């Protein structure tokens, strides 16, 4: 029989065997394979399984591996799993994790469970975790780890190296240590590479880097990730309002923030808030709100049409052509909206340039409106052989494309003013506007001209 | 007068003064401010300016700063700018950059310009750059830097440290150095933290980490970023087919890949390929293809309606209600498509679980279809007071929602088979299907029942 080791065994084969547990490899073999896999790989495998199989896989994982795997799971799946674990069990599972991973998990739990878990910890760990929990999840403070190594400016590199050797092991992603005053005020940073390449007799003060400002604990996590991206940082110090050094943020946590933000923007545009393999009931619930909102806006569009019931009754061609005007406006409006959302997210758009952008979008929609309406007019003429209907649809489309640019620019700005995320609410509002204006302009013009 | 320094001066104020160059601060002050800013900040400011002002800002930048700023710009803007620089000037601007930044820029240039620039370089640099250019831009080889530090297993830490001190400065983001055989075969890695905390008399062989496999130069960049995210790496070694160490990838380049991928997915869904402040002509050109494709699909939907011209002629209510059925199918289909694109991107979906996902989507659309059709039926009855039309629209909507689940699952799979990106082509195909089926089911059923 072929010897099965994690390296010979693809996660797809594992998925297959979990779903058909009666064929080779045996349960015990799967257990051994899981134990040998990297926690993030096990987490990814769990995320690729439907709920029932996911629970089965979870039951095969050894208790000492559970904590690291929970820490690697995406938020929704992590929460679902934790909700089925008793607080006492949870304490046993997570207590040996690094503090920042424990904090990540505690941030998703109800306050009472968090209190219970904190009560079971050593005083020192409890205080360090409480320091982080004080800040919102989406701030630099909520994102930071407290595993900082700090030294004083007056020490020589020799002393620093003796101190570091005494630590045996540095925390993960330690590319720099921090320099603080006797009162723990942040003074600067000292990169590990500098330690390695410099003369050991030099002082920390002579070698430390002081130009970069530390991050304020209240900074928004999107700003944190922008700063990391712009400056190519691996880690950065975090200070409180009085400039005391309280923690550090590492690039791996920033990468998670970036990926989750992108994920949420992407899913948000379709009104989805669920993981890929969510149970049917959960998925149905997560989507019906969005579908219902769209239903209401669809009825608004229908009411617009009903205003021109008589006109359609007399010229049925209008009913055939009206969806074209509405749909083209929707697509053009979504294009402008997408550019706006992207520019706002990247903090490229502000008062100094919004005017230019608005005029550009108007120009683009006028140019494209004219070009496309020639196409539409031509096809319509060939189809219905009526120059009047051709001209009508041309005019209506140009009107709707111009309105789509206006809507695409101003709706996200207004949504922001009302604290709504344009990436979620924007597209439904914009397409409602373009539907209504599309039907109204086409059928309205037709009523004026043809009746 | 207030003294103006980069720190007192927000990038918004800078934007304002660039656009009104006659007010304070003066041109010379702006030049000084720009010189004091981080290259990534200047790049971000440039990306937030319309084309004319962008050129003006560029003219104010000192020549020695130009290279670093070009390297920080987003691809489209970088290309636009470089296309206006003469090859000789470009050589002068970029020659002092780090090799991986030069490679990034060369990868976007025409072959002849690249040859010219390579010819002007030292033999050693030229060879190192050619090694990278050999691999596709979106592979581990195309992403790597060649600034590797490698040591032999037999050396003591003491020797290694002496060697490192001789380097004076380690390349950016050096969290580990690599261990190679005499023939340059990759053997393992030695983290800088380990160097710092370990006994200097120990050998590299005793301290090196050998469990992690190096990245193959042919690996896709999406797989590279997934591995970095899963393993929380800061850097990783890259080997060629014969396991020779040829370079390393650092997290800052991976973050750029992640952000660009997310950006492209987001813009791609709306058929946009341009930067936020692209000139009107460029923006219009980038969007008209997508609009034209949508126009064709809108005509397909119209042709479906025209099949039932007579029915609409007799019962005009149908024309009022038909967009509801089509639009709800479009929204539901986009939701399924979004889940599929996300699952495929995260490599969560494969043969073992696609069946479960398909059934789940069918179940979700049946449940939501029934719930929503009760709502639609109720509203329609109140509006038109006809139980027949109510029942008709209920049936049509359930049919269309079921079809939207089928389309949302299978269309991205088919697009992948034909090497098309579902994130770009998916939504137009799915909504065409749901439009056609929406109109066909509603009007078709009406023709059968009412006529």
Q: Are residues B238 and B166 in the same domain?
A: yes
> Which residues in B lie closer than 8 A to residue A357 (C-beta atoms)?
50, 276-277
Report residue B385's pLDDT band, with 50, 70 and 90 as the boundaries.
very high
Q: Per-residue pLDDT tens for A177-192?
A: 999 999 999 999 999 9
Task: Count structural domains, chain B.
Answer: 3
The answer to whether the Cβ–Cβ distance between B165 and A193 falls below 8 Å is: no
Residue A4 has pLDDT above 80, yes or no: no
Report residue A5's pLDDT band, with 50, 70 and 90 as the boundaries.
very low
pLDDT of residue A24: 63
The overall average pLDDT reported for chain B is: 89
**Bridge partners (DSSP) listed for residue A440:** none
Question: Which of B41, B234, B376 comes nearest A295 by C-beta?
Answer: B376
| Domain closes at, from A251, A269, A290 | A251
pLDDT average, residue stretch A395-422:
95
What six digits make up the tokens of A89? 């069990």
pLDDT of residue A74: 86
More confident residue, B24 or B14: B14
Does residue B1 fall inside a structural domain? no
Does residue A297 fall inside a structural domain? yes
The answer to whether the Cβ–Cβ distance between B320 and A339 falls below 8 Å is: no
Using the structure block, give the residue that is written with the tokens 């190594």: A149
Q: Are residues A19 and A125 in the same domain?
A: yes
Q: Are residues B347 and B441 in the same domain?
A: yes
- Please list, residue by residue across B303-331, b when 16 or more beta carbons sit within 10 angstroms of its beta carbon and e when fewer do: ebbbebeebbbebbbbbbbbbbbbbbbbb
Name the residue in chain A with its Cα closest to that of B168: A197
Does residue B268 fall inside a structural domain? no
Q: Are residues A225 and A129 in the same domain?
A: no
The answer to whether the Cβ–Cβ distance between B251 and A251 falls below 8 Å is: yes
Q: Are residues A430 and A316 in the same domain?
A: yes
pLDDT of residue B243: 94
Dihedral angle sign, alpha carbons of residues A76, A79, A85, A89: positive
The answer to whether the Cβ–Cβ distance between A284 and B309 falls below 8 Å is: no
Nearest Cα of chain A lies from the Cα of B381 at a distance, in angstroms, of: 13
| Domain closes at, from A75, A104, A134 | A134
Q: Per-residue pLDDT tens for A223-274?
A: 899 889 888 899 999 999 999 999 999 998 899 888 888 888 888 888 888 8
pLDDT average, residue stretch A391-409:
96
Q: What is the CATH number of the domain that holds A421?
A: 1.10.357.20
Does residue A269 fall inside a structural domain? no
Q: Per-residue pLDDT tens for B19-47?
A: 665 666 678 888 888 888 888 889 988 99
Residue A3 has pLDDT above 50, yes or no: no
Residue (of A435, A445, A436) closest to A392 by Cα position: A445
The answer to whether the Cβ–Cβ distance between B328 and A379 falls below 8 Å is: no
| Domain closes at, from A108, A134, A160 | A134
Q: Per-residue pLDDT tens for B351-367?
A: 889 999 999 999 999 99
The answer to whether the Cβ–Cβ distance between B170 and A196 falls below 8 Å is: yes
Average the pLDDT over each of A115-129, A177-191, A311-325, B134-148 and give the range with the smallest value. Answer: A115-129
First-to-last CA distance in chain B? 84
Nearest Cα of chain A lies from the Cα of B265 at a distance, in angstroms, of: 8
Q: What is the CATH number of the domain that holds B213?
A: 3.10.580.10
Q: Are residues A123 and A29 in the same domain?
A: yes
Report residue B2's pLDDT band, with 50, 70 and 90 as the boundaries.
very low
* Count of A-B CB contacts under 8 Å: 345
pLDDT average, residue stretch A202-213:
92
> Which residues in A lie closer than 8 A to residue B351 (C-beta atoms)?
12
Q: Per-residue pLDDT tens for A293-314?
A: 999 999 999 999 999 999 999 9
The answer to whether the Cβ–Cβ distance between B175 and A234 falls below 8 Å is: yes
Nearest Cα of chain B lies from the Cα of A124 at a distance, in angstroms, of: 24
pLDDT average, residue stretch B219-248:
92
The answer to whether the Cβ–Cβ distance between A19 and B352 falls below 8 Å is: yes
- Beta strands across the sheet bearing B186-191: B150-151, B176-180, B186-191
Asked whether the beta carbons of A145 and A189 are under 8 A apart, the reply is no
Residues 6+ apart with CB under 8 A from A143: A137, A221, A224, A249, A253, A254, A257
The answer to whether the Cβ–Cβ distance between A294 and B326 falls below 8 Å is: no
**Bridge partners (DSSP) listed for residue B121:** none
Long-range contacts of B255-260 (CB under 8 A, 24+ apart): B255/A228, B255/A229, B255/A251, B255/A254, B255/A255, B255/A258, B256/A229, B257/B143, B257/B221, B257/B222, B257/B224, B257/B225, B258/A255, B258/A258, B258/A259, B258/A262, B258/B225, B258/B229, B259/A229, B259/A258, B259/A262, B260/B75
Name the residue in chain B with its Cα closest to that of A166: B197
Question: Which of B266, B349, B372 comes nearest A338 by C-beta?
Answer: B266
Residue B370 has pLDDT above 90, yes or no: yes
pLDDT average, residue stretch B337-357:
91
> Which residues in A lie closer than 8 A to residue B170 (C-beta atoms)?
193, 196-197
Q: Are residues A300 and A237 in the same domain?
A: no
Residue (of B147, B140, B70) closest to B109 by Cα position: B70
Q: For B286-348, what is the HEC assignment?
A: HHHHHHHHHHHHHHHHHHHHHCCHHHHHHCCHHHHHHHHHHHHHHHHHHHHHHHHHHHHHCCC
Out of A132-136, A168-172, B437-441, give the one with best mean pLDDT. B437-441
Nearest Cα of chain B lies from the Cα of A213 at a distance, in angstroms, of: 11
Q: What's the maximum distance between 2 C-alpha atoms anywhere in chain A?
A: 95
Torsion region of A347: left, alpha or beta (phi above 0 gives left; psi -120 to 50 gives alpha): left
Q: What is the DSSP code string of A96-108?
A: TS-HHHHHHHHTT
Question: Which of B251, B266, B321 comes nearest A302 by C-beta?
Answer: B321
Q: Are residues B307 and B407 in the same domain?
A: yes
Does residue B260 fall inside a structural domain? no
Nearest Cα of chain B lies from the Cα of A119 at a distance, in angstroms, of: 30
Residue A426 has pLDDT above 60, yes or no: yes
Report residue B12's pLDDT band, with 50, 70 and 90 as the boundaries.
low
- How far is Cα B185 from Cα B44, in angstroms, rounded to an integer? 41
Report residue B84's pLDDT band, with 50, 70 and 90 as the boundaries.
confident
pLDDT of residue A23: 61
pLDDT of residue A83: 86
pLDDT average, residue stretch B416-429:
88
The answer to whether the Cβ–Cβ distance between B48 and A349 falls below 8 Å is: yes
pLDDT of residue A352: 87
pLDDT of residue B7: 42
The answer to whether the Cβ–Cβ distance between B15 and A353 falls below 8 Å is: yes
pLDDT average, residue stretch B432-449:
95
Write out the residue range of the structural domain in which residue B119 sits. Answer: 6-132
The answer to whether the Cβ–Cβ distance between A371 and B288 falls below 8 Å is: yes
Nearest Cα of chain B lies from the Cα of A41 at a distance, in angstroms, of: 7
Asked whether the beta carbons of B247 and B145 are under 8 A apart, the reply is yes
More confident residue, A98 or B159: B159
Residue (of A45, A193, A338) closest to B275 by Cα position: A338
Residue (of A442, A346, A370, A357) closest to A408 by Cα position: A357
pLDDT average, residue stretch B224-246:
92
Residue A10 has pLDDT above 60, yes or no: no
Q: Are residues B305 and B432 in the same domain?
A: yes
Report residue A108's pLDDT band, with 50, 70 and 90 as the boundaries.
confident
> Which residues in B lie closer than 8 A to residue A284 (C-beta atoms)?
363-364, 367-368
First-to-last CA distance in chain A? 84
pLDDT of residue A20: 65
More confident residue, A412 or A15: A412
Name the residue in chain A with its Cα closest to that of B319: A319
Does residue A274 fall inside a structural domain? no
Percent residues over pLDDT 70 in chain A: 95
The answer to whether the Cβ–Cβ distance between B323 and A331 falls below 8 Å is: no
Question: Which of A234, A364, A435 comes nearest B234 by C-beta?
Answer: A234
Nearest Cα of chain B lies from the Cα of A47 at a distance, in angstroms, of: 7
pLDDT of residue A229: 86
Name the residue in chain B with its Cα closest to that of A428: B331
Does residue A140 fall inside a structural domain? no
> Which residues in B lie closer than 8 A to residue A49 (C-beta atoms)?
353
Residue B10 has pLDDT above 70, yes or no: no
Residue B1 has pLDDT above 50, yes or no: no
Half-sphere exposure of A2 (CA within 13 A, CB side): 8
The answer to whether the Cβ–Cβ distance between A335 and B12 falls below 8 Å is: no
Report residue A22's pLDDT band, with 50, 70 and 90 as the boundaries.
low
Q: What's the maximum distance between 2 C-alpha atoms anywhere in chain B?
A: 95
Q: Are residues B296 and B413 in the same domain?
A: yes
The answer to whether the Cβ–Cβ distance between A265 and B266 falls below 8 Å is: yes
Does residue B243 fall inside a structural domain? yes
Question: Which of B12, B306, B331 comes nearest A290 by C-beta?
Answer: B331
Q: Are residues A430 and A384 in the same domain?
A: yes
Q: Per-residue pLDDT tens for A136-189?
A: 988 999 999 888 899 999 999 999 999 999 988 888 889 999 999 999 999 999
- Pick from B297, B353, B431, B434 the residue to mutate for testing the A interface (most A CBs within 10 Å): B353
More confident residue, B406 or A121: B406
Report residue A118's pLDDT band, with 50, 70 and 90 as the boundaries.
confident
Percent residues over pLDDT 90 in chain A: 55
Percent residues over pLDDT 90 in chain B: 55
Q: Are residues A42 and A112 in the same domain?
A: yes
- How far is Cα A168 from Cα B416, in angstroms, rounded to an integer? 50
What six digits make up the tokens of B71? 């390297």
Name the residue in chain A with its Cα closest to that of B432: A327
The answer to whether the Cβ–Cβ distance between B357 and A168 falls below 8 Å is: no
The answer to whether the Cβ–Cβ distance between A339 and B272 falls below 8 Å is: yes
């Amino acid at each position: 029989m072929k010897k099965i080791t994690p390296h010979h065994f693809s996660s797809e084969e594992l998925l297959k065997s979990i779903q058909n547990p009666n064929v080779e490899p045996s349960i015990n073999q799967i257990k051994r394979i899981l134990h040998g896999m990297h926690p993030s790989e096990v987490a990814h495998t769990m995320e690729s399984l439907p709920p029932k199989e996911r629970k089965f896989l979870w039951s095969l994982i050894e208790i000492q591996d559970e904590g690291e795997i929970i820490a690697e799971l995406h938020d929704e799946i992590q929460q679902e799993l934790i909700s089925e674990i008793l607080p006492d069990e949870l304490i046993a599972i997570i207590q040996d994790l690094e503090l920042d991973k424990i904090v990540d998990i505690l941030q998703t739990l109800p306050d009472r469970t968090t209190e219970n878990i904190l009560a079971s910890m050593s005083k020192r760990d409890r205080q360090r975790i409480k320091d982080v929990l004080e800040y919102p999840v989406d701030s630099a403070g909520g994102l930071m780890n407290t595993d900082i190594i700090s030294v004083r400016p007056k020490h020589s590199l020799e002393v620093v190296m003796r101190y570091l050797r005494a630590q045996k092991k540095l925390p993960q992603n330690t590319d720099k240590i921090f320099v603080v005053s006797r009162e723990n005020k942040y003074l600067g940073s000292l990169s590990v590479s500098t330690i390695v390449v410099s003369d050991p007799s030099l002082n920390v003060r002579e070698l430390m880097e002081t130009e970069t400002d530390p991050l304020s604990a209240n900074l928004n996590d999107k700003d944190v990730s922008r700063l990391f991206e712009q400056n190519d940082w691996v880690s950065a110090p975090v200070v409180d309002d009085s400039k005391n050094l309280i923690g550090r943020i590492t690039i791996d946590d920033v990468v998670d923030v970036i990926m989750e933000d992108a994920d949420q923007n992407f899913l948000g545009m379709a009104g989805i808030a669920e993981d890929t393999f969510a149970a049917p009931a959960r998925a149905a619930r997560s989507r019906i709100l969005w579908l219902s909102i769209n239903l209401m806006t669809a009825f608004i569009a229908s009411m617009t049409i009903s205003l021109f019931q008589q006109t359609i009754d007399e010229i049925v061609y209008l009913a055939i052509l009206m969806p074209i005007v509405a749909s083209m406006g929707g697509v053009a409006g979504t294009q402008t909206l997408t550019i706006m959302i992207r520019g706002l997210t990247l903090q490229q758009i502000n008062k100094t340039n919004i005017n230019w952008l608005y005029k550009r979008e108007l120009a683009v929609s006028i140019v494209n409106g004219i070009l496309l309406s020639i196409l539409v007019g031509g096809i319509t003429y060939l189809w219905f052989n009526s120059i009047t209907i051709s001209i009508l649809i041309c005019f209506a489309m140009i009107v709707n494309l111009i309105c789509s640019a206006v809507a695409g620019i101003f709706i996200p700005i207004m949504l922001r003013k009302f604290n709504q995320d344009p990436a979620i609410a924007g597209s439904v509002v914009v397409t409602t506007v373009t539907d209504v204006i599309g039907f109204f302009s086409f059928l309205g013009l037709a009523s004026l001209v043809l009746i």
